[in-house]
Amino acid sequence: MGFTLVVIIRWQLAYPGSPVPYIGSLFGTANAPGGIVLPEFYNQLGAMHGTIMVFLGVVPLAVGAFGNYLIPLQIGAPDMAFPRLNLASYWFYLAGGTVMLASFFVPGGAANNGWTSYPPLSDLAPGTGQTWWLVGMAFLINSSLLGALNFITTVVQLRAPGMTWFRLPFFVWAQFITAFLLLLAFPPLEGAAILQGMDRLAGTSFFLPSGLAVSGRPLGVAGGGSALLWQHLFWFLAHPEVYVLILPAMGIVAEIVTNNTRKPLWGYRVMVYSLFALGFLSFIVWAHHMFLTGMGTAVSAFFQTTTMIVSIPSVVILSSLILSLHGGSIRFTTPMLFALAFIPMFGIGGLTGLPLGLATTDIPLHDTAYVVGHFHYLVAPGTIFALFAGIYHWFPRLTGRMMNDTLGRIHFAGSLVCMNVIFMPMFVQGLAGVNRRLWDGGAEYAHAQGVLSLNVPMSIAAFALAFFQLFFIVNLFASLKAGRQAAANPWSATTLEWQAATSSLRVYRNPYEYSVPGASADFLPQHLPADA
């Protein structure tokens, strides 16, 4: 869904003002007369693409689906600690998702103020789309809260005997920290959503300063509010949120890397400590999204410094993953390919975060395509690749069948190439000064002319990317029906999710005991008492 929106966005960016082929007529004349995307519809697409991908796509998949399924299995718990809360969380999610998607059809269309919903724009937006967005967010926030609470309690309380903290698989650690981020960062956004809802419905002016005049007429509100207040509340959530998007992905990648190098994770403990550091620090960097809102030296120095420091745990985790490869016996399975690609792709995304994190270099780059490139490298060939890796890896556990390797490899190669063709030119455009969220991709501006032609290959690659996803979808459904029967532990893994469940489960060793010197097999599952 989020992806369909993006395909339209990319069409519009490559060929501004020309009709979208084939599906253009589906949007109705209010949005796209003659199939031509109007600016208001473009902005709806942008805002909803961001919202859907983040809150309806990656969070529920990476946290909701993978977390819920794997955490109890990996720690040897009979179930999640609060099965009924889990159900409630799911219903909240469904309600939130429905509200979000339905909002496209309300008069005036869906929210079109960016996923960041900055007021006054969002406060004053006509139509009900923005209000539905707030309602949808409230549902999604509560859904995540309940889920997070459940995760933490499960990990603390329901570990199998012998599953000490430092025998937890890294994936569980990543989910555990993620849950804390969700638990503590989401409520302020809920608070902010309540305030914005009051502004929109009860006529308050929390985010509306005095003396506003819209379309040449003074706005009849009490004023006295602060537009920056929203930005603080929003980013206080949204920075930890971006780590919510990446930590589970790192967890998945770590599992798959050790399994396919057949050796323990290098620096496991340091990686865990890094997760803690990351989780904690992510709460004190939020204003790096607001350098250009007018910040003095002291405040900006503080947030620049915390931003630089928060990059170090990521460097540690990524370095450990790379060093884990050294000395391994690497199997290039399909999940491993995606997991390996994650590493340099995250590297590009993360490294391009550095110039954004320095206030001085953020001046030319803020709100340009460079930022869009930065975070897409982290979430698309980053998180999405990790999710694909996870699906290929755990599919046999879930269904008892293997996914097709050839299709998987085509999917991998196609996606890797297309993703880079889409997102790499964004850095070029951004450095040239092209802004984001432009309906015509910057065609008006003289400084954009030199890099405008890049939009065409980028968009073609996006369509090709869509095409390569067909290999995945076909593979998924075909393997479900007719995939090769999988052995109980097809990847010869050590962690508990692959071991036959027994009621008297006990854990005897660290999570990744591969290639232990002197052992008879090259892997020692966590629950076997001695080297059998």
Partner 1 sequence: MLQWLGLPAAASAHAGDVDRTLALVHWLMLVLFAGWGLFFLYVLVRFHRRAHPVASYHGLRGRWSTWLEGGVLAAEIALLAFFSIPVWSARVDAFPPERGSTVVRVVAEQFAWNVHYPGPDGRFGRTDISLLGPANPLGLDRTDPAARDDVTTINQLHLPVDRPVIVYLSSKDMVHSFTLPQMRVKQDVVPGVAQPVWFTPTRTGAWEIACSQLCGLGHYRMRGFYTIETQAAYDAWLAEEAAELAQ
Partner 2 sequence: MHVLPYTTEVRADTGLTSPKLGIWLFLASEVMLFGSLFSSYALLRTGAASWPDQSAVLSVPLATLNTIILISSSVTMVLAWTALAPGPQAQNPARFKLYMGLTLLLGAAFLAVKAIEYGDKFAHGLFPATNTFLALYFTMTGVHAVHVLVGMAVNAYLLVSGARMWRTEPERFANRVEIAGIYWHFVDVVWVFLFPVLYLL
Minimum Å gap between C-beta 224 and partner 2 is: 4
Cα–Cα distances in angstroms (integers) from residue 112 to residues 35, 255, 373, 445, 469, in the given order: 19, 39, 21, 23, 27
Are the C-beta atoms of 338 and 388 separated by less than 8 Å?
Answer: yes
Sorted by sequence, the CB contacts under 8 Å of residue 174 that are 6+ apart come out as 247, 248, 250, 251, 254, 275
Q: Which is nearer to ligand HEA, 167 or 288 (CB)?
A: 288
Residue 149 interacts with partner 2 (CB under 8 A)? yes
Residue 374 interacts with Cu ion (CB under 5 A)? no
Contact window for partner 2 (CB under 8 A) among 112-120, 227-235, 392-400, 407-415: 227-235
Contact window for partner 1 (CB under 8 A) among 181-189, 217-225, 374-382, 391-399: 217-225
343 interacts with, out of partner 2, ligand HEA, Cu ion, none, CB within 5 to 8 A per kind: ligand HEA
Residue 49 interacts with ligand HEA (CB under 6 A)? yes
Q: Which is nearer to partner 1, 97 or 525 (CB)?
A: 525
Q: Which is nearer to ligand HEA, 139 or 394 (CB)?
A: 394
Residue 244 interacts with partner 2 (CB under 8 A)? no
Residue 523 main-chain phi, psi, to 5 deg: -145, 140
Minimum Å gap between C-beta 140 and partner 2 is: 14
Minimum Å gap between C-beta 283 and partner 2 is: 10
Q: What is the enclosing helix (H) or strand (E) of 61? A: none
Q: How far apart are CA 135 and CA 146, in angstroms?
A: 17
Residue 220 interacts with partner 1 (CB under 8 A)? no
Number of residues that bind ligand HEA (CB under 6 A): 57
Residues 107-126 within binding reach of partner 2 (CB under 8 A): none
Are the C-beta atoms of 61 and 42 separated by less than 8 Å?
Answer: no
Bridge partners (DSSP) of residue 514 are 523
Instruction: By CB under 8 A, name the one of 90, 128, 522, 528 that touches partner 1.
Output: 522
| Alpha-carbon radius of gyration of the chain | 24
Q: Which is nearer to partner 1, 83 or 450 (CB)?
A: 450
Q: How far apart are CA 31 and CA 39, in angstroms?
A: 9
How far is the first Cα of the chain from the last one, in angstroms, to the nearest whole number? 49
Q: How far apart are CA 393 and CA 512, in angstroms?
A: 16
Tokens of 46: 């942008």
Omega of the bond prior to 161 within 30 degrees of 0, cis?
no
Residue 239 interacts with Cu ion (CB under 5 A)? yes
Q: How far apart are CA 89 and CA 82, in angstroms?
A: 11
Instruction: By CB under 6 A, name the one of 384, 402, 448, 452 that touches ligand HEA.
Output: 384
Residue 159 interacts with ligand HEA (CB under 6 A)? no
Amino acid (one-letter) located at 263: K
Residue 366 interacts with Cu ion (CB under 5 A)? no
Minimum Å gap between C-beta 131 and partner 1 is: 17
Residues in the chain: 532
Amino acid (one-letter) located at 80: M
Residues contributing to the site for ligand HEA (CB under 6 A):
3, 6, 9-10, 46-47, 49-50, 53-54, 57-58, 114-116, 242, 245-246, 288-289, 307, 310-311, 314-315, 318, 322, 343-344, 347, 350-351, 353-354, 356-357, 362, 365-367, 371-372, 374-376, 378-380, 384, 387, 419, 422, 436-437, 462, 465, 469
